[in-house]
């Protein structure tokens, strides 16, 4: 059975996931004490089945985990209807497609600023640290109303918190997550109190004021929502971009396509980035009643995980599933999830990538990777720490 902490598996999980799909049904993993749904149909059903819930179990002792616990218990991601319905409805009033599309000029401006900085430096640069990471962080930070001077705090806090989504996180990961959750929550709470006194044109102010039928976000729900928006608004974008760039470089014919037609293939390329090497691989749910997934009975209280990255390589759904095809269409991947927990930040991530990907290749048409990319040692949230490149 798969060892989710094995370094070789983390480096390339796809052969093992292919073997898992060969069973044709969800398989029980004894060490994790949950079922693994590796097929596209099963993984998709896990995300959509109404007899399965996203049940957050508070970490203990609760005095140590207070902030981390409420950042999850009071967030859209870790709640179910009716609470999820209420939270999502309130947040959607402020963070909607119209507001996201209105960010297009700002994203274009920031993209060109980052490319100008890279060009001014000359020589080698890091696609992650110099481009893929700062763009979405700057966009969501500006949207929420975080001061520019504090942007450097956000990504480290986010990365420390999301390490808890890994399979059996280490004690070091737990300690980092507790500390980051408290610091991040205290920081957002301070901003919220300031915005209540002095409202400004940002999302924190709007979330503090939004209501529906007399319902408003509580203080903890508002803080949890802001932090979720920051995390969801950039993790998928950063990791999806980095994973896709490295994969495309390893498929020379696809790299040449990006160099030759960056605008023409941008939309399908983004979707293939998200399919081929998904930024999120592991999303578990719990049976709230006896149910069936892929012909296997999941009893009330048992967990089953949707293996999104495996689903996106399912040979029964995708032709030549292990080959990257930046013109693939249709592309029914579930890289952003599905159902009520479809990624809240997906429209923003798609908009950012649809601008930043072609602009990178138009500015540097002879772009090449220069050293072996450095992968993050994580499976659930899969990405790179560093991807060095140079315009030849």
Q: Would you place residue 339 in the very low, low, confident or very high pLDDT band (cuts 50, 70, 90)?
A: very high
Q: What is the pLDDT of residue 122?
A: 87
> What's the mean pLDDT in 291-307?
98
Burial (0-12, 13-18, 19+ Cβ within 10 Å), 82: exposed
pLDDT in tens, 360-379: 999 999 999 999 999 999 99
As a whole number of angstroms, the distance between CA 228 and CA 223 comes to 9
> What's the mean pLDDT in 307-320?
98
- The whole domain housing 368 covers 7-391
Domain CATH for 82: 1.10.630.10
pLDDT in tens, 143-187: 889 988 898 898 899 889 988 888 888 999 999 999 999 999 999
Instruction: Kindly give, in sequence order, each residue whose CB lies less than 8 Å from that of residue 76, ignoring residues fewer than 6 positions away.
Output: 84, 87, 88, 91, 225, 228, 341, 344
Q: Would you place residue 213 in the very low, low, confident or very high pLDDT band (cuts 50, 70, 90)?
A: low
Q: What is the pLDDT of residue 67?
A: 95
Q: What is the pLDDT of residue 215?
A: 74
pLDDT tops 90 at residue 217: no
Strand partners, 28: 35
Active site residue 180: no
CA dihedral 220, 221, 222, 224 (to 10 degrees): 80
Residue 14 lies in a domain: yes
> What's the mean pLDDT in 257-264?
96
Q: How far is CA 348 from CA 76, 101, 141, 164, 334, in A?
A: 17, 8, 13, 24, 16
Give the active site residue among 132, 180, 343, 346: 343
Q: Would you place residue 386 in the very low, low, confident or very high pLDDT band (cuts 50, 70, 90)?
A: very high
Give the active site residue among 352, 356, 359, 389: 352
Give the active site residue among 235, 271, 272, 359: 235
Residue 1 lies in a domain: no
Strand partners, 297: 292
Residue 2 lies in a domain: no
As a whole number of angstroms, the distance between CA 343 and CA 334 comes to 10
Q: What is the pLDDT of residue 32?
A: 94
**Which pTM value belongs to this model?**
0.92
Q: Are 43 and 275 in contact (CB under 8 A)?
A: no
Q: What is the pLDDT of residue 203?
A: 87
> What's the mean pLDDT in 290-303?
98
Number of domains in the chain: 1
Give the active site residue among 75, 79, 237, 356: 237
Residue 36 lies in a domain: yes
Active site residue 235: yes
pLDDT tops 90 at residue 337: yes
Instruction: Kindly give, in sequence order, each residue whose CB lies less than 8 Å from that of residue 320, ignoring residues fewer than 6 positions away.
Output: none
- Percent of residues, the chain, with pLDDT higher than 70: 99
Query: Beta strand 34-37 with 27-29: parallel, antiparallel or unpaired?
Result: antiparallel
Residue 289 lies in a domain: yes
Active site residue 170: no
Active site residue 343: yes
pLDDT tops 70 at residue 212: no
Vertex 298 angle, CA 302 and 331, to 5°: 105
pLDDT in tens, 97-137: 888 899 999 999 999 999 999 999 888 999 999 999 999 99
- Closest of 266, 271, 297, 274 to residue 360, by C-alpha: 266
Vertex 34 angle, CA 30 and 40, to 5°: 120
Residue 320 lies in a domain: yes
Give the active site residue among 37, 185, 224, 232: 232
pLDDT in tens, 189-208: 999 999 888 999 888 888 88
Q: What is the pLDDT of residue 242?
A: 97
As a whole number of angstroms, the distance between CA 15 and CA 11 comes to 11
Q: What is the pLDDT of residue 214?
A: 67
Active site residue 272: no
Chain mean pLDDT for the chain:
93
> What's the mean pLDDT in 33-41?
98
Give the gyration radius of the chain's Cα atoms.
21
pLDDT tops 90 at residue 96: no
Residue 262 lies in a domain: yes
As a whole number of angstroms, the distance between CA 34 and CA 27 comes to 8
Q: What is the pLDDT of residue 166?
A: 86
pLDDT tops 90 at residue 210: no
Residue 167 lies in a domain: yes
Burial call 219-252: b when 16+ CB within 10 Å, e when fewer: ebbbbbbbbbbbbbbbbbbbbbbbbbbbbbbebe
Q: What is the pLDDT of residue 273?
A: 98
């Amino acid at each position: 059975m798969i060892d989710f902490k094995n370094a070789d598996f983390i480096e390339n999980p796809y052969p093992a996931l292919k073997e898992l799909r060969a069973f044709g049904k969800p398989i029980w993993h004894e060490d994790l004490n949950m079922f693994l749904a590796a097929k596209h149909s099963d993984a998709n059903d896990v995300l959509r089945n109404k007899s399965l819930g996203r049940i957050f179990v508070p970490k203990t002792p609760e005095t140590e985990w207070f902030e981390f616990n409420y950042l999850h218990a009071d967030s859209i991601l870790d709640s179910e209807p009716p609470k999820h319905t209420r939270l999502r409805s309130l947040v959607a009033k402020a963070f909607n497609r119209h507001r996201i599309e209105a960010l297009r000029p700002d994203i274009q401006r920031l993209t060109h600023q980052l490319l100008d900085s890279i060009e001014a430096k000359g020589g080698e640069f890091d696609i992650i640290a110099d481009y893929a990471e700062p763009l979405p962080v700057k966009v969501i930070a500006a949207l929420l109303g975080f001061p520019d001077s504090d942007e450097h705090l956000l990504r480290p806090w986010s990365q420390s918190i999301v390490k808890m989504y890994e399979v059996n996180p280490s004690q070091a990961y737990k300690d980092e997550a507790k500390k980051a959750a408290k610091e991040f929550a205290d920081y957002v709470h301070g901003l919220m109190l300031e915005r209540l006194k002095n409202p400004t044109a940002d999302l924190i102010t709007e979330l503090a004021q939004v209501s529906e039928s007399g319902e408003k976000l509580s203080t903890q729900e508002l803080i949890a929502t802001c932090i979720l928006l920051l995390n969801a608004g950039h993790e998928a974008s950063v990791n999806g971009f980095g994973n896709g760039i490295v994969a495309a470089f390893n498929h020379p014919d696809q790299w040449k396509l990006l160099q030759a037609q960056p605008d023409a293939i941008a939309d399908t390329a983004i979707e293939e980035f998200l399919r081929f090497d998904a930024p999120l691989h592991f999303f578990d749910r719990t049976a709230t009643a006896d149910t069936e997934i892929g012909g296997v009975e999941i009893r009330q209280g048992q967990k089953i995980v949707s293996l999104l990255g495996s689903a996106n390589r399912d040979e029964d759904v995708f032709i030549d599933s292990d080959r990257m095809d930046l013109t693939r269409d249709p592309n029914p991947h579930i890289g952003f999830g599905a159902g009520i927990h479809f990624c809240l930040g997906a429209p923003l991530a798609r908009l950012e990538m649809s601008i930043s990907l072609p602009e990178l290749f138009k500015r540097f048409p002879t772009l090449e990777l220069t050293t072996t990319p450095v992968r993050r040692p994580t499976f659930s949230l899969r990405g790179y720490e560093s991807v060095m490149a140079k315009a030849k």
